[in-house]
Amino acid sequence: QQAAPSRLDEIIKRGTLRVGMTGDYKPFTYLDKATQQFSGFDVDMAEALGKALGVKVEFVPTAWPKLMKDFEADQFDIAMGGVSVTLDRQRKGFFSTPIMREGKTPIARCADVGKYQTLPDIDKKGTRVIVNPGGTNERFARANVKDAEITVFPDNTEIFNEIAKGNADLMMTDASETRYQQKQHQGVLCAVHPDKPFDFSEKAYWLQRDMALKAFVDQWLHISMEDGSYKKIYAAWFD
Ligand SMILES: O=C(O)C(=O)C[C@]1(C(=O)O)C=C[C@@H](O)C=C1
């Protein structure tokens, strides 16, 4: 008896893997508006996955506020680019095995780091918390900030400059991003205890509900982590 056709078979037959990407989250995914080219850690990972599948990769632009809608409308086979595992998303699809451990932690002007060590330190009248819309950052801020002021700032590629310029006091985001942005704004912005974030989360790849596709992606990730290829891509973007 023939097994039912899977999404994996469909992708191989089509010759293209459609990868959903927001392009606003360095170093995972960045869309250069002038050239319309995506680059980043998860762009290299997507290209490697395409190669492993023997298919071309087509990047499908999406955005955090509409990621769920686009996933449900089947705009892409897999979402990559710093996507966190959430149970909401798990309800609609599958996640690969995790690729990174994360958690939300603050990033602030270096001079202010001492003021923002804990959530009670942060959640005070007069503190200006800035957040990008639609993802787990906004959810975390809304759940944990009652007395401080929340400003939603839509352009995630510019948001850290807002803190540097003094237009906001801090952002709470993934620990890996606070470390990365600290390096980009040396001496100006500092990550607050990125090794001890406020919560727990993981990065993984979010794929359409298909066991064969999940098994392939997991096996590819496992091999990549063992044979050094994951480490090489990681080092190129995070170290
Ligand atoms: O929603 C998610 O999965 C994310 O982790 C994406 C998210 C966010 O939480 O908003 C994480 C950090 C970036 O600054 C931008 C987007």
CB within 8 A of 232, min separation 6: which ones?
Answer: none
Q: pLDDT for 195-224, tens place per residue?
A: 999 999 999 999 999 999 999 999 999 999
| CB-count exposure of residue 10 (10 Å: 0-12, 13-18, 19+) | middle
- DSSP letter for each residue of 53-119: HTSEEEEEE--GGGHHHHHHTT--SEE-SSPBP-HHHHHHSEE-S--EEE-EEEEEEGGGGGG-SSH
Sheet holding 149-152, edge to edge: 149-152, 128-131, 170-174, 104-109, 189-191
Question: Residues 151-156: what's their mean pLDDT?
Answer: 97
Residue with tokens 């727990």: 200
Distance from the alpha carbon of residue 167 to the mean position of ligand 1, in angstroms? 21
Residue nearest to atom 8 of ligand 1 (CA): 135
How many whole angstroms separate alpha carbon 199 and alpha carbon 191?
Answer: 15
Task: Kindly state the greatest CA–CA separation across the chain.
Answer: 68
* ipTM, interface predicted TM-score of the complex: 0.98
2 pLDDT exceeds 80? no
Q: Work out the pLDDT band at 1, boundaries 50, 70, 90.
A: low
End-to-end CA distance of the chain: 50
Q: Where are the beta strands (DSSP E) in 103-235?
A: 104-109, 128-131, 149-152, 170-174, 189-191, 201-203, 206-207
Which numbered atom of ligand 1 lies nearest the CA of 83?
3
Distance in Å, CA 3 to ligand 1 centroid? 37
Q: Of ligand 1's atoms, which has the minimum distance to the CA of residue 82?
A: 5
What digits encode the pLDDT tens for the residues 39-96? 999 999 999 999 999 999 999 999 999 999 999 999 999 999 999 999 999 999 999 9
Question: How close is the Cα of 10 to the center of ligand 1, in Å?
Answer: 30
Q: Pick the residue with more confidence: 23 or 4?
A: 23
Q: What integer is the mean pLDDT of 100-129? A: 98
* CA 154 to ligand 1 centroid distance, Å: 12
